[in-house]
Structure 1
Amino acid sequence: MSAVPPRHPPSTRTAVLLAVLAAVTAALGTAVLVRADAGLTVRQITVDGVPMTEVRAGPPNPDVRRPGVVIAHGFAGSARLMRPIADTVARRGAVALVFDFAGHGANPARLGTGMSPPTLAADLDIAVGHLRSQPDVDPTQIMLVGHSMGAGAVTRYAAGHPEIARTVAISLPEAGELPPGRPTDLLLIVGGAEFPGFRRAADDAARRGATVGRRPAVVVPGVEHISVLFAPRTHEEIARWLPSVDGDAPPRPFARLAGAALLVVAFAVGLVPLAALLLGRRAAVTLAPARLPAVTLSPAHSAGRRTAGGSASALRVPVLFGLAVLASGLAAAVAAILPTNRLPLAVGGYVSGFLLVTGILTVGGQRWLPAATRVPEIADEPVGSRTPIRITGAVLALTAYAILAVVLPIHLGLTSALPVGARWWLLPLVMGACLLFLLGVELVAVGRTWRRLLVVAVTVVVLSTSAVVGLAPGFVLLVVPLFAVLLGWHVLWAAVLRRYASPRWLPAVVGAALLGWPIATTLPLT
């Protein structure tokens, strides 16, 4: 059997240059994140168990009363996800307050099932009461801003509390509970690329309102359910809706995202020199030669062997595709009845079961493929200088590096990614399911990047389809883009590690951290 074309790792000089580039990019990303807080005073507190963050332009001044804005995140969001909006309204002269609902972000309490409106209302009431009590906040000028689940919470709250001056609902999920004409002074914002249900809910709320009826929902073109939070148009509309303003600072909704993106690039570039340091330069990886009897073949026999080999090779792609479809399709059905659905992690229980079963079926299916179509194995190279201690150290270091690579950009630039409460014991369970799935991917891929991409693409499509047909929670459709990004991230890292002929299971171990950590730390505790 022929060898894979040689894949030469970078030279020592190139590895050093990449390490320097990674350090410079990380420093630049850190500077961008620090600059995002320039001119703002931030205070983090916990009131009655609810973690909160106050954001002001400058230090508190009790001699000057400002409007207060309470900002509520959506399902699987956090206070950190809403920080760009808080920064915008603070720079326009208001005091902003973001907080974590139960089961989200830094709040270890359980949300309960069905997004528990009473729990949401209780947490929102605590946040409003705290902000109204601040000496530099005008209690008659409180505005509420909410996104998705948070939009439903703030509109219900404002409908029952006429003392709320103004309300902003971004991506309101439904308006059926709102009484006619309530709440007044309601601004509705929806992304132009969101699912049609969000547009219908916004139009329904506009028809029900009194003041609202004179202004239809603002449709922000080209953005979907998450990116609507970072659209400049969204920030400008919210800033103009403030009860009063004394600032005109332009919004900078992408500041934290830009810093986080630079950190992602830095970690990706830094993986190459780190792998060179931990794994060392390796020779080309070759396919294991077939163990055939040492006989002399005639030209006719040789031609026949080549034809048969070509036919088997041609069959591998459709067989591989069929295996991936069958494994993930069965997993989508089985995951709906697995005990993982009892995990106190909304959506995450189903996703964990889906990945677990897909991995088991992929591994088993590869073993049961006909010999003519079975994907050939890669021959491991001699360990050489890689002692068990060195391999163990490399595994621990690369896994820790992967955790930092996923935690820091997400936590500093997007949403909360630090485990609290039950998330600590959920982490190993979710990462274990991801590990089995990725081991199956690696077994089928046999070191080939395009095969990893094939299995990943099939997995994403089947998971999305399972949500459409009702096997998976509907919210899966909203997180599939992030899920696909994380899987693509794993494919990139796996390709780098295999260039250094890492153990076949190492990309799966590292990938389990990249994929499992965000699932366990960002989805709500129930």
Structure 2
Amino acid sequence: MPAPSPHRRPSNPAAVLLAVVAAVAAALGTLVLVRADAGLTVRHLTVDGVPLTEVRAELPTPDVRRPGVVVAHGFAGSARLMRPIADSVARRGAVTLLVDFAGHGSNPARLDSATSDTTLAADLDVAVGYLRSRPDVDPDHIALVGHSMGAGAVTRYAAGHPEIAQTVAISLPDAGELPPGRPTRLLLIVGGLEFPGFRRAAEDAVQRGAAVGRRPAVVVPGVEHISVLFAPRTHEEIVNWLPSLDGTAAPRPLVRLAGAALLLVAFGVGVVPLAALLLPRRPTGGPPADPVPATAGRLPGLVEAGPALLGLAAVAAGVGAVAAAVLPTARMPLAVGGYVTVFLLVTGLLVLAGRRWLPGGRQATPTSGSGQAVAARPLVAARAVVAALALTGYAVLSVALPIHLGLTSALPVGARWWLLPLVVASCLLFLLGVEVVAVGRAGRHLLVVAVTVLVLTGSALVGLAPGFVLLVVPLFVFLLGWHAAWAAVLRRYAVPRWLLATLGAVLVGWPIATTLPLS
């Protein structure tokens, strides 16, 4: 029997099966997202520099004037994040208008913290004025819905504009500026798992008499600051409180999240057949995954290097947290992102520098992401370039598409175009440090990441980092975990560790650069 050609790639039934699963998940996710718009008419426009999204449903009596509802997002949110609420309200007959505040979503303007209240009020004024100008909108029935920062903005606006018919404040951050008894018709909603400050703000607003019949705020059980936006109870309270022409359409708050989740599954599963197609298998019989030698009475690998690795990661992250607080990160026009960028940059540089003091660090040979010598079976230059470009592009799509289509805006606009490479570069140095220290061991990789996340969380609790960091830590953990899963797959192949770090930098850095507000 003739020997198989060395250029012919052996069949991989598992990779073929996973490719089919990824294709099916992608098709289903796309179908769910397309059907989410069924029965709705969506129009994107910009008025006086403010990006607006108009959502309306078809009515059996098109000549009837409808109520108008402006929906406002919170800090680091966007019109896309509030789209499920807009859909629920529009299906009840109202004309719904989503707004991208300055510095958020598709709005390239920057939000200055010193004048933010004035800027938010001006953006709301544009949205309310546009709704009142529509011939099919009743100007006497304009309502406002806001979340977090947007909740504060709409309550302040309604308090100063008594012509606003009704207001809904979800996760109101502070009620201290509201005059007693105003707004006159205000519905307060807060998640049961939110930080105590949001519950206190709602109770304060109730005591001031600016609530529904002076009853306590609606507490939605089992949800926190973001998931409260997708809770069926939240949508039911809103559509039952606001004026409507149709009381029969049931809210579907999770449909867009479901479509995005299917796309996420498709991209997560699809990386396996893509790697099998683009990358050669790691050679068998090569050097061990961890080049640290075993010595008498000592265990190799994670157990041996664990204490040193833990200390290195803790010290590096601690210095990074302090450095990010004292360095002029405010010059970087990305709220919160400036701190996180410098934190990751300094932590990564210190981990890289401190690697030599780990057990076996001086003797460790240069390795691929799998811990093997790169020289064992080098990639052909042209093939390496193709693989790197294809995998990097795939990483961009896998993080940008599900977030943008099902959660919040994830496309760069304005200053984000030059901020994006800076943020990704800082993530690259951090993850390169993780790869160099981990030498292909998933346990070491997760240990450095876990310590880094704990220090970042602690820095927010003690006031070094912006408090908003606490709200984005779960997303940060998810993205780092997603990269760890990708790395576990790709380490089976002859892939250089710089490519593993690059893919992780895209997965983590892209959301940071495109979702945090321009400041």
Assess same fold via TM > 0.5: yes
> In structure 1, what is the Cα distance between the partners aligned to 2:60 and 2:341?
45
Distance 1:164 1:375, change over 3 A: farther
Letter of the structure 2 residue corresponding to residue 96 of structure 1: T
Contact 1:312–1:372 (8 Å) recurs in 2 = no
Distance 1:401 1:291, change over 3 A: closer
Residues 1:226 and 2:226 are matched in the alignment = yes
Matching residue of 1:235: 235
Letter of the structure 2 residue corresponding to residue 432 of structure 1: A
Matching residue of 1:317: 306
Shift of residue 340, structure 1, vs aligned partner: 3.2
> In structure 2, what is the Cα distance between the partners aligned to 1:405 and 1:366?
31
Letter of the structure 1 residue corresponding to residue 403 of structure 2: I
Residues 1:477 and 2:478 are matched in the alignment = no
Contact 2:302–2:443 (8 Å) recurs in 1 = no
The number of residues matched between the two structures is: 506
Unaligned runs of 5+ in 1: 1-8, 293-304
Normalised by the length of structure 2, the TM-score is 0.93
Aligned-partner SS, 2:37: coil
1:460-480 deviations in Å (ceiling 9; x for gaps): 111111001000001100111
Matching residue of 1:29: 29
Shift of residue 501, structure 1, vs aligned partner: 2.7
Aligned-partner SS, 1:358: helix
Matching residue of 1:286: 287
Contact 1:78–1:101 (8 Å) recurs in 2 = yes
RMSD value over aligned CA atoms?
2.2
Letter of the structure 2 residue corresponding to residue 99 of structure 1: V
> In structure 1, what is the Cα distance between the partners aligned to 2:516 and 2:301?
44
5 Å-filtered alignment, 1:318-397, equals 318-369=307-358, 371=360, 378-382=371-375, 384=377, 386-397=379-390
Contact 1:152–1:172 (8 Å) recurs in 2 = yes
Letter of the structure 2 residue corresponding to residue 408 of structure 1: L
1:422-455 deviations in Å (ceiling 9; x for gaps): 0000010000000000001101111111221111
5 Å-filtered alignment, 1:82-231, equals 82-114=82-114, 116-210=116-210, 212=212, 214-231=214-231
Distance 1:164 1:276, change over 3 A: same
Matching residue of 2:41: 41
Unaligned runs of 5+ in 2: 1-8
Aligned-partner SS, 2:408: coil
Letter of the structure 2 residue corresponding to residue 423 of structure 1: R
> In structure 2, what is the Cα distance between the partners aligned to 1:22 and 1:140?
50
Matching residue of 1:460: 453
Aligned residues: percent identity? 72
Shift of residue 21, structure 1, vs aligned partner: 1.3
Distance 1:464 1:145, change over 3 A: same
Distance 1:390 1:272, change over 3 A: same
Letter of the structure 2 residue corresponding to residue 329 of structure 1: G
**Bigger CA drift: 375-384 or 279-288?**
375-384
Say which of 433, 457, 474 aligns to 1:440: 433
Matching residue of 1:254: 254
Distance 1:385 1:432, change over 3 A: closer
Aligned-partner SS, 2:81: helix
Matching residue of 1:5: none
1:241-272 deviations in Å (ceiling 9; x for gaps): 11233231111111000000110110011101
**Bigger CA drift: 136-145 or 370-379?**
370-379
1:301-330 deviations in Å (ceiling 9; x for gaps): xxxx75244388643111111111111111
Letter of the structure 1 residue corresponding to residue 172 of structure 2: L
Aligned-partner SS, 2:175: coil
Contact 1:316–1:375 (8 Å) recurs in 2 = no
Distance 1:60 1:10, change over 3 A: farther
